[in-house]
């Protein structure tokens, strides 16, 4: 029973998820009264950054299990959300009816 008690080593059991070293970040911009790109597909553990410039916008997620916290009305700010749950996460800008997007995590 002389197991090496070293911590922070070789746990190769979880290739994806929080702390995934290959996690990516995708940017969504607000070039007008639209989110661009409006539809983004990412992997579990990836991050989306909303780069909100110009007119003030919000990012309000539909009440779906695993949806991140909504972003309040802001301008000239960047807000990041990391997605650790698979699913479809639609959101809209309550300030501008019809301004909407969706994050798909697969
Ligand atoms: Cu808006």
pLDDT in tens, the chain (106 residues): 444 444 444 444 445 555 567 899 999 999 999 999 999 999 999 999 999 999 999 999 999 999 999 999 999 999 999 999 999 999 999 999 999 999 999 9
Which domain, by its residues, includes 75? 25-105
Count of domains in the chain?
Answer: 1
Q: According to the model, what pLDDT value does residue 21 have?
A: 78
How remote is the CA of residue 89 from the centroid of ligand 1, in Å?
17
pTM of this structure: 0.80
pLDDT value at residue 18: 55
Q: Is 74 exposed, middle or buried (0-12, 13-18, 19+ CB in 10 A)?
A: middle
The span from the CA of 9 to the CA of 23, in Å, is 19
In this prediction, residue 41 carries a pLDDT of 98
Ion ligand 1 residues within 5 Å by Cβ: 57, 93, 95-96, 99
Three-state DSSP at 33 gives coil
Question: Ligand 1 center to residue 91 CA distance, Å?
Answer: 11
Q: Which CATH number characterizes residue 59's domain?
A: 2.60.40.420
CA of 15 to the centre of ligand 1 (A): 36
Looking at the domain assignment, is residue 66 inside a domain? yes
Ligand 1 mean position to 69 CA, how many Å? Answer: 17
Output the CA 8–ligand 1 centroid distance in Å: 43
Distance CA 8, CA 6 (A): 7
Residue 11 has a pLDDT of 43
Give the per-residue pLDDT at 19: 58
Residues 29-64 as b/e (b if ≥16 CB within 10 A, e otherwise) read ebeeebbeeeebebebbbebebebeeebbbbbbeee
């Amino acid at each position: 029973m002389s197991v090496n008690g070293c911590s922070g080593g070789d746990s190769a059991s979880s290739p994806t998820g929080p702390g995934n070293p290959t996690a990516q970040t995708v940017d969504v911009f607000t070039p007008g009264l639209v989110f661009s790109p409006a539809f983004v597909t990412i992997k579990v553990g990836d991050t989306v950054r909303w780069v909100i410039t110009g007119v003030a916008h919000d990012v309000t997620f539909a009440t779906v299990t695993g949806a991140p916290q909504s972003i309040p009305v802001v301008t000239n700010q960047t807000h990041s959300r990391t997605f650790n749950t698979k699913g479809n996460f639609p959101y809209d800008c309550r300030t501008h009816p019809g301004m909407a997007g969706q994050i798909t995590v697969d």
